[in-house]
Amino acid sequence: MMAGEQLVGAKQNRVLNASIVVDARVEMPVPVTCVEQGRWAYRSRRFETSGTASHSALRLLMMKHAHASYLFEGKPRSDQGKVWQEVARKLGAFKSRSPSSALDDAYGTLKTRLDAVGARIAPGEQWSGAVFASGGRILGLDLFDRPSTLAKLWPKLIRAYAIDAFEKKNPATMSRRQVEDWVRGLSRCAVEVFSSPGLGADVRLEGDRRIAALLFVEEVPVHVEAFPDDD
């Protein structure tokens, strides 16, 4: 399960605080945060995937919260109040009507435009990851263990990064060299290793105006996510 993936249904829609691999035939609680402030009643008895993920600003915010929580509690928790604030900001940016203040409604408002982007941009067959940029700056990086993992999660990723690009409305571009330099900068970050709630280790990187998380299972980087951190 990928950090930022959105789960809809049950009593509130939620997103995953961290990437997790759950072992076969195991039942366990997973760390999630609510992204629907105004609903407290069951819509269904189970969660389903909505085909969307958190936008990069929300993933960056939650990554910071999870790192701090790992340090103090040993678990990847998030600050619920600040997450709701970011959801409200995103809904307001697109004037999305949402009686329950649900992040998913922002995607619903832009469905036609998001579908068009998804139909136009597809990953190469051998890609295991991608760096997303818009308006002359990096939005984020997602790298997986194999091309099939990226292909499975691509529709959610492209919609999440596109919704950020729609908000910025800046035609500036970036060169390949600028992107490569940014990725290389991750090697200058400080590294801390924590035990993942599921299988493997959750490795956290911060520094040089970058922040990242790497889920390692049996020495394989199952998911690497990285974002610029201007703070």
228 bridge partner residues: 210
Report the pLDDT averaged over residues 8-27: 89
Helices and strands of the chain, counted as H and E runs: 6, 10
Here the tokens at position 187 are 């090697």
Domain count, the chain: 1
**Is it the case that residue 55 has pLDDT exceeding 90?**
yes
**Is it the case that residue 6 has pLDDT exceeding 70?**
yes
Q: Which residues contact 181 (CB under 8 A, 6 or more apart)?
A: none
Here the tokens at position 188 are 């200058």
Domain of residue 191, residue span: 5-228
Is residue 61 within 8 Å of residue 82, measured between CB atoms? yes
Determine phi and psi for 190, rounding to 5 degrees.
-70, 145
Work out the percent of the chain whose per-residue pLDDT is above 70.
Answer: 95
Here the tokens at position 76 are 């990847």
Determine phi and psi for 111, rounding to 5 degrees.
-55, -45
**Is it the case that residue 40 has pLDDT exceeding 70?**
no
